[in-house]
Structure formats: C-alpha cells, structure tokens
C-alpha cells in the first residue's frame, strides 16, 4: 500500500516571502499522480496543483510550484510571495494511475497528515 508522509506539522512564513512544504511518499508503482490540496478554515478542500509522474517537468500554477523528485519519491510545494490568504492546512495526496485494465478514473487518494501554514503579516 502507498503511504504519504508530511514531516512538518506546522510551518510559518513572513508575508511576501517564500516557503516550501515537504512531502515524501512510498510506492512500488511507476505511474501515478500527486496532488497538493489546501484546506482553509472554511474546511473546503481546494486543489492547488497536480503532477503526473510520467512528466519530468515540474508543475507550476502562478505562485505555486512543485519540486518533483521521482527517484527520491519527494514532492515538495513552494509558495512564492506568500499572502495572508495562503494560510491553511496543506495536504499532499497520492493517486495510483489506475490504468490496470480495470476501470480507470476511480482510484482513491491517499493523503498525508497535513501541514498547517501560518502567514505572518
């Protein structure tokens, strides 16, 4: 079974600075997907960024980017120019490719335990 580890329960960063959240995972699969979800106090789970394992290029979404190291099984999230609205819990998640001849698009997400990010004004 796959596992996802987030070793930083809490992080804080000064507004406008850059912060990196860590995530490692364990899998024997070669094809999979990785996600970062944000959960603000409203508790809504919001997708921040995704990475397909077969893509070598790191994903980027505006101020959010990832450092995907497949051999090291590492998937960190970098937030640049931090804003007060970035304060939230951040969850790293793993999804199998699901392309095994069975039904696709239905594989579950395995989540890490989350990192609480605080933005200091």
Partner 1 sequence: DAGVIQSPRHEVTEMGQEVTLRCKPISGHNSLFWYRQTMMRGLELLIYFNNNVPIDDSGMPEDRFSAKMPNASFSTLKIQPSEPRDSAVYFCASTTETEPYEQYFGPGTRLTVT
The region of 8-16, 20-28, 72-80, 95-103 touching partner 1 under the rule CB under 8 A is 95-103
Please select the residue that binds partner 1; options are 30, 41, 43, 71, rule is CB under 8 A: 43
Interaction between residue 16 and partner 1 (CB under 8 A): no
Q: What is the dihedral of CA 3, 18, 117, 53, to 10 degrees?
A: -20
The region of 14-22, 66-74, 75-83, 91-99 touching partner 1 under the rule CB under 8 A is 91-99
Tokens linked to 106: 């239905």
Interaction between residue 73 and partner 1 (CB under 8 A): no
Nearest approach, Cβ of residue 21 and partner 1 (Å): 16
Spatial CB neighbours of 103, under 8 Å, sequence gap ≥ 6: none
Interaction between residue 106 and partner 1 (CB under 8 A): yes
The region of 12-20, 22-30, 65-73, 105-113 touching partner 1 under the rule CB under 8 A is 105-113
* Buried residues in 59-90 as b, exposed as e (16+ CB within 10 A): beeeebbbbbeeeebebbbbbeebeeebbbbb
Interaction between residue 57 and partner 1 (CB under 8 A): no
- Alpha carbon distance 58, 64 (integer Å): 11
- Alpha carbon distance 92, 64 (integer Å): 14
Positions touching partner 1 (CB under 8 A) are: 33, 35, 37, 42-47, 50, 52, 91, 95, 98, 103-114
């Amino acid at each position: 079974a796959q596992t996802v580890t987030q070793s930083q329960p809490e992080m804080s960063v000064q507004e406008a600075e850059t912060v990196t959240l860590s995530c490692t995972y364990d899998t024997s699969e070669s094809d999979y997907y990785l996600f970062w979800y944000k959960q603000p106090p409203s508790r809504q789970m919001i997708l921040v960024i995704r990475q397909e394992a077969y893509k070598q290029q790191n994903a980027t979404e505006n101020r959010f980017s990832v450092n995907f190291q497949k051999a090291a099984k590492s998937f960190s999230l970098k937030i640049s120019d931090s804003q007060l609205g970035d304060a939230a819990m951040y969850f790293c998640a793993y999804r199998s490719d699901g392309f095994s001849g069975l039904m696709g698009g239905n594989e579950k997400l395995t989540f890490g335990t989350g990192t609480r990010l605080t933005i200091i004004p």
